[in-house]
Structure 1
Amino acid sequence: MTPKRMLTIAGVWYLLEGATAFFTGIGFDFMSYGFGILCLSLGILFLAARDELASKLRIVVFAIGFLATLGVSLIAYYAQWSGRFMDSALGYVFPTIWLIVAVGFFIAGRDNTATRIRRLN
């Protein structure tokens, strides 16, 4: 998978997750809205960085994507395992999707390295 395609998929995924965080909550839940804002911000970052050439900036964007997505996946797995997410085994679907996106960030970020990286300053 090309880095541009990975950033496009992840950007759209994060924007969708961020938008659904605003419409699925009952009442005002700060953590739900905070997660929504974080997802919207990362989605915009990924879509904005997809046309960037191989550089230190793009490597950092892939590292942020990998760590953020892996963190969400592990927390969601723990929430499902401890019984705080869903009562059925269907609750493992979303953490698995997040884990697949994290693996995609890792693989595409590894292939993102160029022979010569320009300086940011």
Structure 2
Amino acid sequence: MTTRYTKDHEYIRLEGDTGTVGISDYAQSQLGDVVYVELPGVGKSLAKGAEAAVVESVKAASEVYAPVSGEVVEVNSDLESSPGTVNEDPAGRGWFMKIRVKDEGELNDLMTEEQYQEFLKSIS
């Protein structure tokens, strides 16, 4: 299982040709208490870098961008009733959507866990 990160703090965890997408622990800590999540519809095609979801916290609303191009095959509907799960377990139960990846080559543009940790050091 490979996890990659964007500079906007989304992650994608690849299993086969499907990637689970969410926001990093750093992103949820910057947002504060998440109070609302708007998810895309299943079947929606997303282009890499396009707005895929919206997350609202007590501090701000923020877009979640698609880390790669693909089709939404599942969404985490539990977030509609329990948006705070994003704060409690961003890399686990707080995932946003699953995307069938169109071009695995796009993953090469994303950061590995080690590169992402270095990136976080550079911005803090």
Q: Please say whether Structure 1 and Structure 2 have the same fold, judged by a TM-score greater than 0.5.
A: no
TM-score by length of 1: 0.28
Name the larger-Rg structure.
1
Point out the structure with the larger strand share.
2
TM-score by length of 2: 0.28
Point out the structure with the larger helix share.
1
